[in-house]
Amino acid sequence: MPVPAPNLYPDFNTIRLSHACLNVADLAASKTFYTEILGLQVTDETDTHVYLRAMEERGHHCVILQKSDQPGTVEVMGFKTFDEDDLDKAEAYFNAKGRPTAWVDRAYQGRTLLTSDNMGIPLEFYHKMDRLSPIHQKYALYRGVKPLRIDHFNCFSNDVDASVAFYSDFGFRVTEYTEDEVSKKLWAAWMHRKGGVHDMAFTNGTGPRMHHIAFWVPTPLNIIDLLDLMSTTGYVANIERGPGRHGISNAFFLYILDPDGHRIEIYCSDYQTVDPDNEPIKWDLKDPQRQTLWGAAAPKSWFEHGTKFVGVEPQDSQLAASPIIAP
């Protein structure tokens, strides 16, 4: 199917992705991984939750670790709106789409609207979050891979065309996409609000499930340093794919797994997409430079492993097309 035309005047204004709540088994072990290995900063913690932010972020949190009896699942993905009125407009919009809506209390956030997309992915929208003092020049605090900010979500979808159409309608714009040449259906798509390559991406597969959360780092050398750190601190088995440079997005990347199996991408060097008349870039599914510009194929686990959303049962994709997979 053709990529939808961008909706430049959506019913409400989403600025960017904001945060995710990840369910974990061992809060202490997860805190160690996210602070000492990734390098996120703790902004608050309780017996059941740890709140974290990256070095450039002024908002209270970009990741919430939640102790749960369903570890390795995702509770919710969060997005920030331009103003308070957008929250009421978003409620009306999702109600009109037949999606459930509820106003929920969230620590360190103002009014928060909980809803879900057409596949059932739990989403929350807010405008106000507690603001913290800047720490981007407190270099004594930098550790791990030195993450600067949360960059994007990527989710498995069992119908990428339907997911792209849904998000396009409320203002997400496609920057790059992969199409199956036989069926002409979308195999994957990258969509943005903040002016990078993506805030949200969708990949064909059993879904909905979270594929990964990505964090932006200063340089590719930070990724090399992280590999040295992980390989000498007991986390070598958590390294899944990379380092490399994507064909799609042109970003330098590394994929790792946290202690509960949530996939994390370490990411830098993509490009600006602010201009509304940018044409989406099309990739062939069998192009060996699509996954990695240098031609290295991704492992099978990268196309199969994902983490479920709480209360949402994934469905198999009906699109049988297969990408290039490493032997």
Percentage above 70 pLDDT, the chain: 100
Q: Is 114 helix (H, G, I), strand (E, B) or coil?
A: strand
CA angle 70, 71, 74 (to 5 degrees): 85
Mean pLDDT of 195-204: 96
Q: What is the predicted pLDDT for the residue at 281?
A: 96
pLDDT digits (tens, 9 = 90+) for 126-163: 999 999 999 999 999 999 999 999 999 999 999 999 99
Please state the separation of Cα 233 from the chain's center in Å.
Answer: 26
pLDDT at 232: 98
Q: Which long-range contacts (CB under 8 A, 24 or more apart) does 286-291 make?
A: 286/323, 286/324, 287/247, 288/324, 289/247, 290/178, 290/247, 290/248, 290/323, 291/246, 291/247, 291/248, 291/323, 291/324
Residue (of 28, 20, 58) closest to 46 by Cα position: 28
* pLDDT of 320 strictly over 90: no
Structural domains in the chain, CATH included, are 14-131 (3.10.180.10), 146-309 (3.10.180.10)
DSSP annotation of 220 reads H
Does the structure show a pLDDT above 80 at 2?
no
Q: Which tokens go with 312?
A: 């949402």
First to last CA, the chain: 31
Kindly tell me if the per-residue pLDDT of 1 is higher than 70: no
Q: What is the mean pLDDT of residues 158-173?
A: 98
List pLDDT tens digits, range 207-248. Answer: 999 999 999 999 999 999 999 999 999 999 999 999 999 999
- The pTM of the full predicted model, rounded to 2 decimals, is 0.97
195: burial class by Cβ within 10 Å (0-12, 13-18, 19+)? Answer: middle
Residue 193, pLDDT score = 97
Strand partners, 291: none
Q: Give the pLDDT confidence score for residue 37 in this predicted structure.
A: 98
Q: Average pLDDT over the chain, rounded to whole?
A: 97
Q: pLDDT for 12-63, tens place per residue?
A: 999 999 999 999 999 999 999 999 999 999 999 999 999 999 999 999 999 9
Beta strands per DSSP E along the chain: 14-24, 41-45, 49-53, 63-67, 73-81, 102-104, 112-116, 122-126, 149-157, 173-179, 186-192, 200-204, 209-216, 239-245, 252-257, 263-268, 281-284, 307-309
CB 265 within 8 A of CB 212: yes
Q: Is the pLDDT of residue 321 over 90?
A: no
Of the candidates 170, 155, 84, 77, which has an alpha carbon nearest to the alpha carbon of residue 116?
Answer: 77
CA atoms within 13 Å, Cβ hemisphere of 238: 25
